[in-house]
Structure 1
Amino acid sequence: MTQPDSDAPTEPQSTAPPQNPRRRLKDAGQLVDRRLGGKNGLQARYLRNESQGRADVAALRKAASRAPGDLPEVWSLTAVPVVSGAGDTPTREEFAVHTAMTLYAVHQQSRNEGMFQPGVGLGQAARDLIGPRDQENPSARARFNALVTSTTVNELRHHLRSFISQLRARRIPLDHAMLADDLVDFQRPGGTKDVRLRWSRQYGRISATD
């Protein structure tokens, strides 16, 4: 299997528990969870050094800067059921699943530990990356602020890729299935504010029931 980058930092992964009892995935998130997780999911196959698992991750990484449907080699990994007459532009779910799956591949590249960790929301991963207030990483803070204040999904996708690269460098995992649901909600009318609040609560480790 490809070895970790020799010049990569060796900071520990997030100390968050592997499962979040309040993790409630919607359709897009459930689809991503099934494709990435489990003993036969993409992450397990990649970590077992299976040739198809490595090829799938490489193909998804190649598709990270492409629109949904552009690369036939990832169709089986990013396909989403759509109703007839859906139109010629990607649906919210197609955009979300494509983005979450391809960003997972960017995140997992050359790592021998799983970067998909159920229950670690984007806000929580950001907190682990940025660090405590008196020791903040200014570069990570700037990237996260730009991400959170995105006003379009294309702008958000652009900032997400840079942010995911920082998580990868520090070996901080993320729940890409939760991210897929965030991306769907971000595209709904009025959904941007809801997603920002969700990330804010994760950043502060505050649940919706607290």
Structure 2
Amino acid sequence: MTTKQYTISPDGSSTAPHPKASQKPVLHDAGLLVHKRISGLQNRVIGGDPRARGALANLRRAASKEPGEIAEIWELTQVDVPDHAGDAPTREEIAVHTAITLYALHQQSRSQPMYCQGIGLGRAARRLVGPDDGNSSLRARFNALVTSSTVTELRHHLRTFIPLLRTNEIPMDHAMLADDIVQFQRPGQAKTVLLRWARQYYSVPQEPESTSSPESA
């Protein structure tokens, strides 16, 4: 995919309150696609559209599946792939599928938006665990996530971690997560992504809070 960078402003389309992000995220291709699709879906879900809620149900069903396995979600998870792509899902297909299906898990039975721009995974985890690391069980879940060595392992830990955020009504930025997952899959880049989440967790200043170019190797 050709990489472009844009600064995305909050769309302000929902009146439901949610935390303000410290910075507007800089998104790349996968993140831009996820932002556009989740924003539209979330607006319809919050507005009570039954078809949107049906789409969420299909997405949740696909969360543990591979990209392309559930035909009902293709409209929301399809990405452009190069002509030379093989039979296996591309990094972008895995990232978009994972981020959007995780959003569906996150938004389940919630009347407030769980997609909120600028809140990285580490920052959301900090809100969940608490400022003093008081909940050792929740901290252990996050530790397991940030020691993932493969994208399969990462997806598994995300599927168990995101429902914890939902239970505590803690939103996050799934578009940023999509870009992170793309970069995680690039040779030599997994540690960079895990370090970014650790820095977000400990509030180490970053300028800006965003992924580096997914094209970097």
Root-mean-square deviation (CA, aligned residues, Å) is 1.6
Give the structure-1-normalised TM-score: 0.88
Cα pair 1:19 1:118 within 8 Å, conserved = no
**Aligned-partner Cα distance in 2 for 1:82–1:207:** 35
* Superposed CA offset, 1:44-85 (max 9, x none): 101111021111111100100110000110000000100112
Match of 2:171, SS state, is coil
* Superposed CA offset, 1:112-156 (max 9, x none): 0010000000000010001122x5211210110000001010000
| 1:34 paired to 2:33 | no
| 1:141 paired to 2:139 | yes
Task: State the AA in 2 paired with 1:28.
Answer: A
Task: State the AA in 1 paired with 2:175.
Answer: A
| 1:183 paired to 2:185 | no
Cα pair 2:121 2:200 within 8 Å, conserved = yes
Task: State the AA in 1 paired with 2:198.
Answer: S
Cα pair 1:122 1:174 within 8 Å, conserved = yes
After TM superposition, the runs of 4+ consecutive aligned structure 1 residues lying more than 4 A away are none
> How many residue pairs align between the two structures?
192
Task: State the AA in 1 paired with 2:125.
Answer: A
Q: Which residue is 1:81 aligned to?
A: 80
Distance 1:181 1:94, change over 3 A: same
Q: Which residue is 2:172 aligned to?
A: 174
Cα pair 1:121 1:178 within 8 Å, conserved = yes
The counterpart of 1:209, out of the listed 198, 207, 210, is 207
Give the structure-2-normalised TM-score: 0.85
**Aligned-partner Cα distance in 1 for 2:69–2:175:** 22
Distance 1:202 1:16, change over 3 A: farther
| Aligned-residue offset at 1:206 | 2.4
Identity %: 56
Question: What 5-or-longer segments of structure 1 have no aligned partner?
Answer: 1-13
Match of 2:23, SS state, is coil
Q: Which residue is 1:117 aligned to?
A: 116
The counterpart of 2:156, out of the listed 148, 155, 158, is 158
Cα pair 1:32 1:97 within 8 Å, conserved = yes
Q: Which residue is 2:197 aligned to?
A: 199
| Aligned-residue offset at 1:15 | 7.6
**Aligned-partner Cα distance in 2 for 1:105–1:168:** 10
Question: What 5-or-longer segments of structure 2 have no aligned partner?
Answer: 1-16, 209-217
Task: State the AA in 2 paired with 1:35.
Answer: R
| Aligned-residue offset at 1:36 | 1.1
| Aligned-residue offset at 1:191 | 0.8
**Aligned-partner Cα distance in 2 for 1:62–1:123:** 26
| 1:45 paired to 2:19 | no
